[in-house]
Amino acid sequence: MKKIFLSLMMICCCFITGCFGNTSNDVLKDITKQYDGLKAYELTGDLEIVNNDDVYNYDVKVIYQKKDKFYVSLKNRNNNHEQIILKNEEGVYV
């Protein structure tokens, strides 16, 4: 009986949450508003490039500051080769 009750409660919670949740446009507007207020951000991620039978894996790091200053690092996991793209007031460097 407890299992049925808990299952029913879970279904009701999911239904209620889904009915009153934000739409994708609302979420996009919230993210855009937060992004416009930022002075800088940093992100990291994994990049996988598939070229026919070859697969390349990279660690990616991005640092951004207002006025279009940024640093991008792409590091190949297989051979530790790293490429850096840097943009500041003086220009773009690779």
Please check whether residues 31 and 72 belong to one and the same domain: no
* Parallel, antiparallel or unpaired: strands 40-51 and 54-65: antiparallel
Closest residue by Cα to residue 40 from 17, 66, 60, 20: 66
What is the pLDDT at residue 93?
A: 82
Please check whether residues 92 and 55 belong to one and the same domain: yes
Residue 1 binned pLDDT confidence (cut-offs 50, 70, 90):
low
- Domain range for residue 32? 1-37
pLDDT, tens only, 33-69 = 877 777 888 889 999 999 999 999 999 999 888 888 8
- How many folded domains does the chain comprise? 2
Specify the 3-state DSSP secondary structure of 60: strand
pTM of the model: 0.58
What is the pLDDT at residue 84?
A: 92
Q: Which residue shows structure tokens 């409660």? A: 9
Strand (E) positions, the chain? 40-51, 54-65, 69-76, 82-88, 91-93
What is the pLDDT at residue 15?
A: 60
